[in-house]
Amino acid sequence: AQSVSQHNHHVILSEAASLELGCNYSYGGTVNLFWYVQYPGQHLQLLLKYFSGDPLVKGIKGFEAEFIKSKFSFNLRKPSVQWSDTAEYFCAVNARTGGFKTIFGAGTRLFVKA
């Protein structure tokens, strides 16, 4: 069965620090990969997605993620975080042949100190 693992459940950073959130998945076939973000009091929304092509994907608000197929990873990065990045981040995977089912990771709560 597919699974998604997010290594850090809680991360605390100071503003301007660099961010990297780990995400690994277990599925041997072709996958589509997503990062979603849930800001306090807001809906869960898409941050970025990877389907094919350049493995380095850029999303909104300066976030990017790199797909490394050999490592089954899709880590999220941002060079310099802001207080407004405080949120919960979810990695998600959809097997391309799996149709409508998407598997979500447990989430990482990021708190950025001003």
Partner 1 sequence: DGGITQSPKYLFRKEGQNVTLSCEQNLNHDAMYWYRQDPGQGLRLIYYSQIVNDFQKGDIAEGYSVSREKKESFPLTVTSAQKNPTAFYLCASTPSGTGAYNEQFFGPGTRLTVL
Binding site for partner 1 (CB under 8 A): 4, 6, 9, 32, 34, 36, 43-46, 49, 51, 90, 94-102, 104-107
Of the CA atoms within 13 Å of residue 108, those in its CB half-sphere come to 25
Separation between Cα atoms, residue 88 and residue 106, nearest integer Å: 10
β-pair partners for 24: 5, 73
85 vs 105, beta carbon nearer partner 1:
105
Least distance in angstroms from the C-beta of 34 to partner 1: 7
80 vs 111, beta carbon nearer partner 1:
111
Least distance in angstroms from the C-beta of 83 to partner 1: 23
**What ranges make up the beta strands (E) of 39-98?**
44-50, 56-58, 64-68, 73-78, 87-95
62 vs 98, beta carbon nearer partner 1:
98
Least distance in angstroms from the C-beta of 38 to partner 1: 8
Least distance in angstroms from the C-beta of 100 to partner 1: 3
28 vs 101, beta carbon nearer partner 1:
101
Separation between Cα atoms, residue 2 and residue 11, nearest integer Å: 25
Structure-block tokens of residue 80 = 């310099």
